[in-house]
Structure 1
């Protein structure tokens, strides 16, 4: 189905705006991603707290995901994203102040705020889905997800520059990146506040009405005025939503768990920081760089098939990673791990949006992101314990089991008829 020309132009412009805004937000966040654990250890004076900043970030994301979704549902995507960026500004400033004041508790509070800002920024992909017709939805989601490539390249490159600037001003080199983080969030806030108009929520209603009038889109998004259902009603009543949630959550656990323990595994084989950085860089590339291809596959071949392919990639990564500790095989395995996550993430996000009414989307998507955030926290917190207790290979085997569940759920759902909704 083709939208009318004016609506189509608005849709394309908003998707580009969301892509640029997400790129700016992730540059801000990735500027400090490499130094948070170092800063935490420096402030606390003990290495055992190295994982605490990351955990605080995950807690912040978990706490914010659902409220920010409800906020977007009530006041619109632009307001919700803007509030998230303001929280990010506050987090960056607070972290910089914590470094100057040498306060570890203040630093952890800042990490919670930055985690909340990431949760808000990640919902930009759903805003892109809002402004796209169903047959182009995954490509819109994937374009916004691909902005992570910009963040992954530019953000870490700004870290040493900001560090040198803070040293030139007489402060510790770990102070500057946090204030750079805040400054970048200011730019993001201004950009989105000015250019993300009309609000994607309003455009979504126009598209849903257009699709309903054309009688070509019998899914949930074609019923913008139908009563909103609760999260429980939707999950119990729609197998596709259950598949989307399983894909999003279990792919996240698998990815985070193996990603976190691979650097430790590499140190056991005397790999240096250069090798470890190379492997993680390839992993991040897999997570984001091919997102547009993923979106095309999902729109062309279907969400469930794309999720199934992602599950197979996750299985392949978990099988291959323990077999060879050399740098290149591990880099290939971690790239495949990131790509499998990307397939599940893009297609799962698109499938979830396909099955929701317009007046349900922001709230239910926030609840879904809460599930993903909690899953990420579980993967992060359990990874070290699993590595210490059962080792790298057994941890990867657990990842295989989780990916098999994704594949099985997708295969089982393919045998069931697609539910319709009474409107």
Structure 2
């Protein structure tokens, strides 16, 4: 089982070769629950009908956009997987103070946080396609700088590189919202799921890219993997050229103005949706960031840690093929609750042992829990704003989510180094329980309203 992982201490990076349907009444109730009417304006679904094209053409456009964004998501997550797998390990190699090993992952998330609102404004003025392509250019610059920093053994330069990569992630986080821009109310959850399902490509390919390229510039470890991530970003720029999403005016043709953000936030449903997205993503990041370091500290190899991350990424995105159907059948809240329960179960598994199986199973539960919680909360967010309000509401959501994610990624390395793996596996659980309680209250309240109405 290996020694207790209280303190990492000096870690030797081991390099191995490649591894050898309900009633109509219930459906109406759920549709009412998903699209609540707001005082002074209709639901997002009503607004979308007002601005939609003929059904056949609009449906084809929505499906084509979802496919393009799914491919772009896969290419983006190749780079993200490289950073997830190797960011903390590279930081450990380059940093003199080993407690700063996860700082490159933190600067990656910080780059996302800083760029989230500017990215939304950029897309508002330039359009989704151009904004996404500019984001991919940041990845090309970031991976190039990362390769240079690794060769120079420059820890702070490597942190600057991951900061640039975070700007790419800030733009890519809008892929799922962009898929909903042209989708009908019925197709919206599936469009979001399609996009996240694109990450399954990364789950299957990226870890093998890491394994086969990490020694490409031997004896300099890991530089080849970041170079490969840069190539994936270049391919994403070409794929995104096929995206077709029209820009929306700030004021609709009917003369209705976008509501102030504080007015939109008066909806309890929106506040809980944002909170559950924050908890789902931050919990996943907190445990995932520490896992490769903890595995190496417990005498598992880098390749074993990479395979554990591979199963984690598979678990993050493989459920996306049916998460949209589950949301349509069971409702947003039940899917989110299931995800939060899985996030909690991941911590319990992590506490039960230190074998590679325990680490991998915890990461699998963590990935599926993230998928249900994140897609469910994203769909809830899109229920709570009109089309002309999408940029500011989505920007606020992303800013809030990555504020907590940045804190979680930095705290992960500190807690692991100073308190040990057991504390990492336990300390996030109260936040998961709080989010689950709020979602359950929302769900029960909506059921009572439907029964009374």
**For residue 57 of structure 2, what is the aligned residue in structure 1?**
6
TM-score calculated relative to the size of structure 1: 0.83
Count of residues in correspondence between the two structures? 395
* 1:15-59 deviation digits (Å, cap 9, x = unpaired): 111111111222234345433344444445554442221121111
State whether residues 253 and 379 of structure 1, in contact with CA within 8 Å, keep that contact through their aligned partners in structure 2: yes
Q: Could you tell me how far apart the structure 2 residues matched to 1:161 and 1:271 are?
A: 18
Aligned 8 A contact 1:127 1:200 in 2: no
Which residue of structure 1 aligns with residue 236 of structure 2?
A: 188
Gap change, CA 1:61 and 1:100, over 3 Å in 2: same
Cα 1:288–1:392 change in 2 (3 A) is same
Q: How does 1:195-344 map to 2 (within 5 A)?
A: 195-197=242-244, 199=245, 201=247, 226-235=256-265, 237-263=266-292, 266=295, 270-273=299-302, 275-344=304-373
Distance in 2 between residues matched to 1:344 and 1:60, nearest whole Å: 23
| TM-score, structure 2 as length reference | 0.78
Give the Cα–Cα distance (whole angstroms) in 2 for the partners of residues 379 and 161 of structure 1. Answer: 30
Would you say the 8 A contact 1:91–1:113 is kept in 2? yes
The change in CA–CA distance for 1:4 and 1:187 in structure 2 (over 3 A counts) is: same
Q: Given the superposition, is the C-alpha separation of residues 180 and 318 from structure 1 closer, same or farther in structure 2, using an over 3 Å criterion?
A: closer
CA RMSD of aligned residues (A): 2.9
Inter-CA distance 163–343: structure 2 relative to 1 (3 Å threshold): closer
Following TM superposition, by how much is the alpha carbon of 1:156 offset from its aligned partner in structure 2, in angstroms?
3.0
Q: What corresponds to 2:189 in structure 1?
A: 138
CA–CA separation in structure 1 for the residues paired with 2:143 and 2:296: 31
Deviation, structure 1 residue 297: 0.6
Report if the CA contact (8 A) 2:351-2:422 is conserved: yes
Deviates more, 1:71-80 or 1:276-285: 276-285
Distance 2:254 2:277 in 1: 25
**CA gap 1:268/1:50 in 2 versus in 1, 3 angstroms:** closer
The structure where helix makes up a greater share of residues is 1
Equivalent of 1:177 in 203, 211, 225: 225
Deviation, structure 1 residue 250:
0.9
Which structure 2 segments of 5+ residues have no match? 1-44
Residue in 1 that maps onto 2:31: none
1:80 to 131, 134, 139: 131
If asked which structure has higher relative contact order (CA below 8 Å, sep 6+), I would say 2
Q: Retained in 1: the 8 A contact 2:116–2:399? A: yes
Runs of 5+ unmatched residues, structure 1? 210-222
How far the C-alpha of 1:120 sits from its partner, in A, is 0.8
Q: Distance in 2 between matches of 1:125 and 1:136?
A: 13
